[in-house]
Amino acid sequence: MRAKKQFLEARSICNVDMKEYGLIWERVLKKQLSAIVTMEELIASVQGTLPVMEPSQPELEGAHCTDVDYLVLLNMEFEEHDDTLFLEAEAVAAEMKFEFHKGPSKKDERCMEKAELSYQDNFARLKDLRRASIVCATVDEICLLIPALQSRLTLLRVKNRFRRDFDANNESAGYRDLQFNVQVPGTKLIRELQVHLADIEEFKTKNRDVADASGRTGHNRYVAFRAIKERLGKKE
């Protein structure tokens, strides 16, 4: 009962956000249903070519993957390639005239928190230390992008939060996107490439720094939701 109460609390924090995301998604479903079906089929086809085992960051000499030293060494490995990490993804976006954004590196504090709560303190399972995103105006554009990414990038895993059966309210506070784990060329490092739908991303960006009556911004609300959900997941 306590866990259920905590989860309901997490949902209540993001209640207004979830409603707005839900309205946006309803409009997408109404106008772009056939494209969504096509996208699901494309992603299923991609998933059929990917490794069955969960990908992980490489072994690093001098540290075990559960040691904090491993996280330090892993970040050093990424720093050597930071200038070229997303060149091929950026090139694909430019050729297709889609927006491309390189995100900030994941902070060490969040890395340690996520490893503890979600990955049994295994830092090698962190696949989003470096992130970038491509924004598409429509689902049809995403359908064009998927085969282009598959042909140009080494994809290792894809999470489709645009699936019609994805429980966005319970899993991601209403938010939806695509998340690809991609191998960095010439290395065994893994980075994350997100694909956003413009209408959803526009609301997320606009809402990020808007405070509610409690003083929480959109970002603060999501972080609170995520923290409660991850801690409940660890207990389970």
> What confidence tens digit (pLDDT) does each residue in 196-232 have?
999 999 999 998 898 888 888 989 889 888 888 888 8
pLDDT of residue 3: 57
- Strands 99-102, 131-136: pairing is antiparallel
Contacts of 205 (CB under 8 A, 6+ apart): none
Q: Taking 80 as the threshold, does the pLDDT of residue 5 lie above it?
A: no
Q: Taking 80 as the threshold, does the pLDDT of residue 234 lie above it?
A: no
pLDDT digits (tens, 9 = 90+) for 135-180: 999 999 999 999 999 999 999 999 999 999 999 999 999 999 999 9
For the chain, how many structural domains are there in total? 1
pLDDT digits (tens, 9 = 90+) for 32-77: 999 999 999 999 999 999 999 999 999 999 899 999 999 999 999 9
16 vs 22, residue with greater confidence: 22
182: part of which helix (H) or strand (E)?
Answer: strand 178-183
Q: Taking 80 as the threshold, does the pLDDT of residue 25 lie above it?
A: yes
pLDDT digits (tens, 9 = 90+) for 78-133: 999 999 999 999 999 999 999 999 999 999 999 999 999 999 999 999 999 999 99
Model confidence at 2, in pLDDT bands (50, 70, 90)? low
What is the SS3 string spanning 50-111? Answer: CCCCCCCCCCECCECCCCHHHHHHHHHHHHCCCCCCCHHHHHHHHHHCCEEEECCCCCHHHH
pLDDT of residue 215: 86
- What tokens does 109 get? 């504090």
**CA 138 centroid distance within chain:** 19
Question: Residue 52 sits in which domain range?
Answer: 2-235
Q: How does the average pLDDT of the chain come out, rounded?
A: 93
pLDDT of residue 236: 57
**Unique residue bearing structure tokens 């042909």:** 151
- What tokens does 208 get? 């990020």
Q: Taking 80 as the threshold, does the pLDDT of residue 9 lie above it?
A: no
Model confidence at 195, in pLDDT bands (50, 70, 90)? very high
- The CATH number for 186's domain is 3.30.460.10
| End-to-end Cα spacing for the chain | 13
pLDDT of residue 233: 74
